Structure 1
Amino acid sequence: MKKRSLLFLAFIVIIGFIIPKGAFASTGSEGINEKLGLPIVVYGEALTESQKSRVTELLEVNQHEQVDEFTVTGQDLANYIGGNPNSNMYSSVKILHQDNGTGLNIEIVTPDHITEVTKEMYANALLTAGVENADVFVASSVKVSGHSALTGIYKAYEAKGVTLDKERMEVASEELDVATSISEKSGIDQAQVSKLLTEIKKAIAEQNPATKEEVEQIVQDQLQNLNIELSPEDRQRLVDLFEQMRDLNINFDQVKDQLDELAGGIQDLVNDEGFWNSLTSAVKSFFQSLADFIRSIVS
């Protein structure tokens, strides 16, 4: 009897480690939030029925009693950010609006299928476009770069009556292109690129540059601070990008707290590169010890 009790206890411990914390969460019994509105789901037009079904599972759409659903097309890509209207759209998103001051939180549900854009890159671009106070979940059932998910977010906001400036959306898309291109061409870690963009925005908020030369100096200072070496061409792309933002009078001071929080999170990624390796070792060690313990009580 004692052995059975110990085995049951060991089983409970194992389940606690294996099942995600949200597995027993409410699946919609909380009802509809009339203040914030329904969750929004935007599916890529190119998804087959089976792929769409899979994305629905990944985004946990069925946990909500009701959702507003939309489809994003290549023509939307052209309308919102000047992309190719013949593009195939696969990236899909779920958006949960939050109260003012909550901030912008991004989760890439399928990181293996979003090959170029990180959640920090999404956050930076969305803040540039003027999107705040939401939880955004990105998923794709096939491997894609992840750029088109931005269009789905923009379409969802417009459909819900939130006006976003088209020029800011186009600049945000350009920012995403620059970020992924620099990371790919220069071999710089994506987290470092995201931190660079965030620190430049923070410096712009603090210094309020009045000329292109001042923007160029800010870019150069942050490259030096982060010990990042870029080609003259990539350096110029950054200067041109942030000069566009200055011309549009994008006020990053309004989201400075969010930028501070984003920068801190990115720095944690940069500093803790070996974290998951350490965690994996610790978990393996735990389960090995647990297996030895179980063997000892049943033998």
Structure 2
Amino acid sequence: MNRIKKEDFSLRNLKKLGLFAITAITAFSMVFPSSVSADAIVGESYVTLGANLTEAQRNQILQEMSVSDQSKVIEVTNEEEHQYLGQYMSKATIGTKAISSAKITIQDNGKGIAVKTKNISTITEEMYANAAITAGIKDADLYITAPFKVSGTAGLTGIIKAFETATGKKIDESQKQVANEEIVRTSEVAEEIGDPLKAAQFMNRVKEEVAKEEPKSVEEYRDIIINVSNEFNINLDSDTINQLVTFSQNFNDLNIDWDQLSSQFESLRGDLSEALKSPEAQGIIDSILEWFGELFSAIGDFFTSSSSRSESN
């Protein structure tokens, strides 16, 4: 029984375990729609196409998405991409053409989010899921694609625009900005550490700690980021840490109530649910399972020993 005493199972850690078991992902519950609006019909799909696609590329994407109703097709312009990404990326990186396209299919309340991508080279499905929920999107299937390989940083703009059209509800502009900033910062961390999944997990832990600790000073934000990076055994340069401090401040300004997000965590679908579990959570779970294994082994040894003694008597 000494082994289990070595684990720090304080009330705070048990609370973290329950949260992590349903994956760590973030959103802003204060501006979440409590349910899909009356304008949104479950099962309906809405599509956004990059405004600079050629006619042949448009038709290719629509066919790929199995969309026939042109009335539900919305365009995303390069100007909109610069509007939401211009603060976090250079103009040259964003480019002059809107190519990324997206499809969103409304699901039943509580169904959660599922993400699939095609020809997206930088932004992973986990990153899209995180940022989409940050933007207030829920209960939907998301599909992001392009006719050729693109980074995918602009894909979130289309997802948000399609969701607004589907629900008839405008998403707060600050939310949109932070969600797009999250996409950029997560991809930068992924490039720096060479592990996109770990980057998404890392960002979720940072957001969780910021939401729970409610830091007030730059130093407190920085401490959270450094402590979490130590948890994940990753080294970040000073520029990245400074950018994450700014992102964390913007995130915290929207008054997140982390404890109210469990329904979205639980209802993540596909591979996202398992993929976004943090290594810390899995380590705690493994320790518990290992302890139970040792306990049952000891019980078995006890009865085996008792039985041997009885037979010898």
Per the normalisation by structure 1, the TM-score is 0.68
Query: Residues 129 and 34 of structure 1: is their aligned pair in 2 closer, same or farther, counting only changes over 3 Å?
Result: closer
Looking at structure 2, the residues matched to 268 and 80 of structure 1 have their Cα atoms a distance apart, in angstroms, of 29
Q: How does 1:259-298 map to 2 (within 5 A)?
A: 259=265, 262=272, 264-267=274-277
Give 1:104 shift.
1.7
Alpha-carbon displacement from aligned partner over 1:67-120 (angstroms, at most 9, x marks no partner): 711111113324555576973111111101122222221111x1xx21110011
Give 1:236 shift.
1.7
Match of 1:292 in 2: none
The answer to whether the aligner puts 1:170 opposite 2:177 as a matched pair is: yes
Match of 1:21 in 2: none
Which of 200, 208, 211 is 2:206 aligned to?
200
Q: How does 1:128-147 map to 2 (within 5 A)?
A: 128-147=134-153
Match of 2:252 in 1: 246
The answer to whether the aligner puts 1:180 opposite 2:187 as a matched pair is: yes
Show structure 1 runs of 5+ residues with no match: 1-32, 272-299
Give percent identity, aligned residues only: 31
SS of structure 2 residue aligned to 1:126: helix
Decide whether the 8 Å contact of 1:76 with 1:151 is kept in 2: yes
Match of 1:102 in 2: 111
Once the two structures are overlaid, the 10-residue window that deviates more, 88-97 or 214-223, is: 214-223
Decide whether the 8 Å contact of 1:55 with 1:141 is kept in 2: yes
Decide whether the 8 Å contact of 1:202 with 1:256 is kept in 2: no
Looking at structure 2, the residues matched to 60 and 37 of structure 1 have their Cα atoms a distance apart, in angstroms, of 13
Match of 1:288 in 2: none
Looking at structure 2, the residues matched to 137 and 196 of structure 1 have their Cα atoms a distance apart, in angstroms, of 24
Which of 52, 56, 59 is 1:46 aligned to?
52
Decide whether the 8 Å contact of 2:211 with 2:256 is kept in 1: no
Give 1:190 shift.
0.6
Looking at structure 2, the residues matched to 195 and 86 of structure 1 have their Cα atoms a distance apart, in angstroms, of 29
Give 1:248 shift.
2.4
Give 1:226 shift.
0.9
Give 1:229 shift.
0.9
Which residue identity lines up with residue 105 of structure 2 in the other structure?
Answer: L
SS of structure 1 residue aligned to 2:204: helix
SS of structure 2 residue aligned to 1:227: coil
SS of structure 2 residue aligned to 1:121: helix
Match of 2:304 in 1: none
Which of 96, 110, 125 is 1:87 aligned to?
96
Match of 1:5 in 2: none
Match of 2:5 in 1: none
Once the two structures are overlaid, the 10-residue window that deviates more, 72-81 or 142-151, is: 72-81
SS of structure 1 residue aligned to 2:142: strand
Query: Residues 193 and 254 of structure 1: is their aligned pair in 2 closer, same or farther, counting only changes over 3 Å?
Result: same
SS of structure 1 residue aligned to 2:44: coil
Once the two structures are overlaid, the 10-residue window that deviates more, 37-46 or 212-221, is: 212-221
Once the two structures are overlaid, the 10-residue window that deviates more, 147-156 or 190-199, is: 147-156
Q: How does 1:17-166 map to 2 (within 5 A)?
A: 35-36=41-42, 38-62=44-68, 68-80=72-84, 82=86, 87-108=96-117, 110=118, 113-160=119-166, 161-166=168-173
Looking at structure 2, the residues matched to 120 and 166 of structure 1 have their Cα atoms a distance apart, in angstroms, of 23
Count, aligned residues: 233
Decide whether the 8 Å contact of 2:201 with 2:276 is kept in 1: yes
Looking at structure 2, the residues matched to 61 and 138 of structure 1 have their Cα atoms a distance apart, in angstroms, of 14
Give 1:255 shift.
2.3
Give 1:221 shift.
2.0
Decide whether the 8 Å contact of 2:211 with 2:252 is kept in 1: no
Alpha-carbon displacement from aligned partner over 1:96-148 (angstroms, at most 9, x marks no partner): 1122222221111x1xx211100111111112211111110111111111011
Give the CA RMSD over aligned residues: 2.9
Decide whether the 8 Å contact of 1:38 with 1:68 is kept in 2: no
Which residue identity lines up with residue 179 of structure 2 in the other structure?
Answer: A
Per the normalisation by structure 2, the TM-score is 0.66
Match of 2:14 in 1: none
**Structure with more relative contact order (C-alpha pairs < 8 Å, separation 6 or more):** 2
Looking at structure 2, the residues matched to 91 and 38 of structure 1 have their Cα atoms a distance apart, in angstroms, of 21
Looking at structure 2, the residues matched to 267 and 253 of structure 1 have their Cα atoms a distance apart, in angstroms, of 17
Query: Residues 130 and 52 of structure 1: is their aligned pair in 2 closer, same or farther, counting only changes over 3 Å?
Result: same
SS of structure 1 residue aligned to 2:276: helix
